[in-house]
Structure 1
Amino acid sequence: MPKVLLYSRQRLTKRPLQHWLDDTAGSVVLLTTHKAVVGAEDVLATHFPEHSLVDEYYAWSTERTAEETARAHGVDLVASTSEDDVLRAARLRERLGVPGQGTASATAYRDKAVMKRLLREAGLPVPSFAVIDSPMDLLDFLDAENGPVVVKPRLGAGAEGVNILRAPSDLDAFLARQRTSEVPFLPGQWMAEGFVHGDFFHVDGIMRDGHVIHCWPSQYNSGVAEHLHGQTQLSSVLLAADDNRTAVLRTLAQDVVAALPAAPTLAFHLEAWLGPDGNPVICEIASRAGGGLVAETYERAFGVHLAKEGLRAQCGSPLTLTHQPAAPEPPTGWILFPPGHGRFAPPPGPCPVPGTDFTLHLEAGTECTGLEYATQSAAGALVTADSPQEVRKRLTSLTEWWHLHTDWL
């Protein structure tokens, strides 16, 4: 087994890395935080005796700790579990001279301006866009656009920092957030793009060396930014094999992966719109598994957990699934219900909607102040049925039940 340095800020009590990977005690050097191992000290001692704990995961000092740890243990590979680690893992690989996704590929999958430039040069459909390095850049782009504009961090994830500018008051509000923004208002940090009207989809799967091994599209109930700003539930449903949009979106995923700098085997998560004319427009793609319950839904339908599969591939393990499945079996969807404002009073009794695997993510009595990030949830569910249409009906029934029986006191 190769020796692997693994970046992970995930709590070991929530993400069982010891069950995902082979021979962890002998092959995985874990770089994580003190907070992430609380309550899992026995797991750390048994499965990750070779580890390095840091206080501030995203501090520059952690980069040096990672390299020193990697060299001390003679690692052969570098792996990561979060999108925030994609670039730092790639840079460390190149410093160490070990295989895996390099910085050119990692940058293309992380920096949305670089990504869209490469896709546009390949002739693929992207919105109009511009790099925003000063307020004048933004004003120029607003003048050139005939409609709403979206401003977003170039390295953001999960609709973090996304602003939809529909009126002068929206522009004023965005500019006024400069002092409190987690993403600095500095060159290289922001971009703007034209607002796209259409239904919103995601395509998830596994890619290798510029080719898609397998993937499947799903339709969101709304845009992720709209979910975050509106504090509404977020859901999606896998499309049917005979849905015309399935072929369009799978072809789009293949073209996007082929157009960007290739990487060894990784999971990917692509988001795109389909307009009234049925033509796609690319939102973005990431070289990691989708968030929310995307990986769990894919596993229910195809037997492969994409986050686990992508991590195992980075660590040198073979793929579980090496061909394209014909169709989801069973048809599956998922939903996340956001936290509200107040003390959580969940619905009494079991969920009455058939085909629903419902899970509370908060304990009764938890004090909440609303939705803070896209995948935060008070509860979530996987829903299966005989068809995508029936899955959507059950998601509607589940939503009605949730709102009728949930209180925020």
Structure 2
Amino acid sequence: MRETGGDVAGRVLALNYDGDNDYASMLPELAGQIVVLSQEPLANVVGLAHYEQIDDLEKLPLGAERAHALHAEQPFSAVITDNEYEIVRCGQLRDEWGIRGQSAASALAFRDKVAMKDAARLAVEVPAYARAASRADVESFADKYGFPLILKPVDQGGSRGIQVLRRPQDLTTVSAQAWAYEMEIEQFVEGDIYHVDALVTPDIEFVSAARYSLPPLQFLHGSPLAHVLIEPDAPITRRLGGFLRALLDVMPAPESAAYHLEVVRTPDDRLVFCEIACRVGGAQIPELVQRTYGFDLVAASFRASCGLSLPQRPEFAGRVYSSLIVPSPGGFLRDAPAELPFDWVDRYTFRRAVGKAIPASRHSNDHVVCVVFHAEEHASALLRLQELEAFLLPRMIWAPVDDGT
């Protein structure tokens, strides 16, 4: 069920959020035709046709108003974004302007967690699910399916707003604030969570597989979180690639797009659908893919969306890269190691400074420390992750903010 596009793009509109995106470098054939509206200050704007920074771009209608005004001056032939909260608006602009790429209907199918399961269940196993407009809906679902359950916003990301309900008493924790979003209730599926990060075009099908060290939601409860990549010839990588292909056969997928898919592998070895996004995976995923395959997934997805050829092809480096991020519990970070004594660590960086009061982490990439490391294979990476956590975590010394000096 692939949506098809038209000719190679001319003038390009980019709705941007990452301050490090270098559009002229990623799309050199179109550098003088790229118009960027950016929520964050963009580091490199040299060579762009036009650049504007718009605060709260994703929340305000000003972005669409400026886009229409700029389109009236000189029409766009492609619209791209690096933000999952903008893919529906980008689809709406393409529909209105009659240009190539993902439609609004397709974008919505990859944003709305109920709509995506309505399609996914035609091809793969999905948990029982339903829209939930009130606590009464949750109680009715629980009466039918029992516990545990997950209550989540239908169109948020980064584990925002998710609540796990393990017993009837947990229904008392479903606060009024939960209904600030449109919600979905579904059965909780026990197992390991894997993610697939892919690029699918008429010319290439690239699939990278990885496993979360624990459910991402636990990060918001103080547990470190790791993405542990898996070698491309591993049986589970092939299974997950087939799972993705089955999904794209029944979903309104664009002709060319990147995907971030999450799947639960149950203790009895079933693969159960969690969710899929039509975008590049966030956090450290692009860096891990770049290091493992020499493949810039962000640039490749932009180029594919613009109808441009890919200047590089994925090639496995012979070792897999993984990342570990550590959340803030909310407090004063008194101390942490200045360096790590492992020659297999490739990057060790602080997003928040030692010696400062740091708010509690609010989403699944709101971290204090990030470590990127490599191993020859997935199994070895898991052992190195244990060694890394055993060294680093006890040496990160926290104190309540009132005790900080």
Q: TM-score, normalised by structure 1?
A: 0.88
1:334 match: secondary structure = strand
Aligned to 2:26: 20
2:28 match: secondary structure = coil
| 1:37 aligned partner, one-letter code | P
Task: Report the Cα distance in structure 1 between the residues aligned to 2:233 and 2:98, rounded to whole angstroms.
Answer: 45
Task: Report the Cα distance in structure 2 between the residues aligned to 1:56 and 1:322, rounded to whole angstroms.
Answer: 36
Q: Is 1:136 equivalent to 2:136 in the alignment? A: yes
Does the aligned pair in 2 maintain the 1:87–1:107 contact within 8 Å?
yes
Aligned to 2:3: none
Please, which moves more after superposition, 258-267 or 347-356?
A: 347-356
| 1:146 aligned partner, one-letter code | G
Please, which moves more after superposition, 106-115 or 360-369?
A: 360-369
Q: Once the 2 structures are TM-superposed, how far is the Cα of residue 258 of structure 1 from its aligned partner?
A: 1.8
Aligned to 1:380: 370
Aligned to 1:208: 201
C-alpha spacing 1:21/1:241, structure 2 compared with 1 (3 Å): closer
Task: Report the Cα distance in structure 1 between the residues aligned to 2:22 and 2:51, rounded to whole angstroms.
Answer: 16
Please, which moves more after superposition, 63-72 or 155-164?
A: 63-72
1:23-58 deviation line (CA, Å, top 9, x unaligned): 56511101123xx227x4xx33x3335123323311
Task: Report the Cα distance in structure 2 between the residues aligned to 1:328 and 1:139, rounded to whole angstroms.
Answer: 50
Q: Once the 2 structures are TM-superposed, how far is the Cα of residue 212 of structure 1 from its aligned partner?
A: 6.9
Percent sequence identity over matched residues?
25
1:308-365 deviation line (CA, Å, top 9, x unaligned): 3212322333224557x6x562122111111232233453432112211222222333
Task: Report the Cα distance in structure 2 between the residues aligned to 1:398 and 1:59, rounded to whole angstroms.
Answer: 42
Task: Report the Cα distance in structure 1 between the residues aligned to 2:318 and 2:23, rounded to whole angstroms.
Answer: 27
1:88-115 deviation line (CA, Å, top 9, x unaligned): 1001110111111112211111111000
Task: Report the Cα distance in structure 2 between the residues aligned to 1:123 and 1:386, rounded to whole angstroms.
Answer: 34
Q: Once the 2 structures are TM-superposed, how far is the Cα of residue 217 of structure 1 from its aligned partner?
A: 1.4
Q: Is 1:9 equivalent to 2:1 in the alignment? A: no
Aligned to 1:55: 55
Q: TM-score, normalised by structure 2?
A: 0.89
Q: Is 1:347 equivalent to 2:336 in the alignment? A: yes
Does the aligned pair in 2 maintain the 1:24–1:47 contact within 8 Å?
no
- CA RMSD across the alignment: 2.2
Does the aligned pair in 1 maintain the 2:295–2:313 contact within 8 Å?
no
- Residue ranges of structure 2 left out of the alignment (5+ in a row): 1-8, 400-405
1:224-270 deviation line (CA, Å, top 9, x unaligned): 12222x22111122223454322221111111122211203221110
Q: Is 1:184 equivalent to 2:180 in the alignment? A: yes
Q: Once the 2 structures are TM-superposed, how far is the Cα of residue 18 of structure 1 from its aligned partner?
A: 4.2
1:296 match: secondary structure = helix
Aligned to 1:168: 168
Does the aligned pair in 2 maintain the 1:345–1:364 contact within 8 Å?
yes
From 278, 294, 302, the equivalent of 1:303 is: 294
Q: Once the 2 structures are TM-superposed, how far is the Cα of residue 72 of structure 1 from its aligned partner?
A: 2.0
2:239 match: secondary structure = helix
Task: Report the Cα distance in structure 1 between the residues aligned to 2:357 and 2:72, rounded to whole angstroms.
Answer: 45
Give the total of aligned pairs. Answer: 389
Does the aligned pair in 1 maintain the 2:210–2:228 contact within 8 Å?
yes
Q: Once the 2 structures are TM-superposed, how far is the Cα of residue 306 of structure 1 from its aligned partner?
A: 1.6
1:372 match: secondary structure = coil
C-alpha spacing 1:56/1:347, structure 2 compared with 1 (3 Å): closer
Q: Is 1:401 equivalent to 2:402 in the alignment? A: no
